[in-house]
Amino acid sequence: MQVKSTVKLNTPRIKQLTQAAVTALELTGELLHEETQQAQVFPFDTGNLQNESTFVDYSKSKNGKVTLVSSTPYARRLYYHPEYNFQTKENPNAKGMWYEDWMPGGQKADFAPKAFKQFYKKAGGV
């Protein structure tokens, strides 16, 4: 018995879905950035860390990676020292390790995967 098969790839659709994944990833990063600001978890003195110095870096989005970047020299020190006594006048939930709730095992760990799924469906027409 001899079997023969032919596979035809729908290249335009594959490209569309690939671009949809990139778009969904970028939108998810932006939504996560907004979500953390609205949750008021950033330490807040002048608002520089939360508002001007934290942004989404899309430079590697085509490789499947977006990064939330805080570009101030003190961001790392504040993030990794939750024992600091953060003022809570402007942001009542201010704390160190402010992304912890959205990381695996956190209370909002499903936020990014759910957002990505919704954005991907919309962008990919699925």
Would residue 74 count as lying in a domain?
A: yes
Work out how many domains the chain is built from and give that number.
1
Length of the chain: 126
83 part of a folded domain: yes
pLDDT tens string, the chain, 126 residues long: the values are: 899 999 999 999 999 999 999 999 999 999 999 999 999 999 998 889 999 999 999 999 999 999 999 999 999 999 999 898 898 999 999 999 999 999 999 999 999 999 999 999 999 998
- Which of 73, 75, 121 minimizes the C-alpha distance to 99? 75
CA atoms within 13 A on the CB side of 85: 0
Token pair, residue 56, equals 């989404």
Does residue 73 fall inside a structural domain?
Answer: yes
Q: Looking at the domain assignment, is residue 75 inside a domain?
A: yes
Rounded to the nearest 10 degrees, what angle do helices 11-38 and 111-124 cross at?
Answer: 140
Residue 117 forms part of a structural domain: yes
Q: Is residue 46 part of a domain?
A: yes
Closest CA to 75 of 36, 27, 126: 36
In a domain, 66, yes or no: yes
The structure's pTM equals: 0.89
Structural domain span for residue 36:
23-124
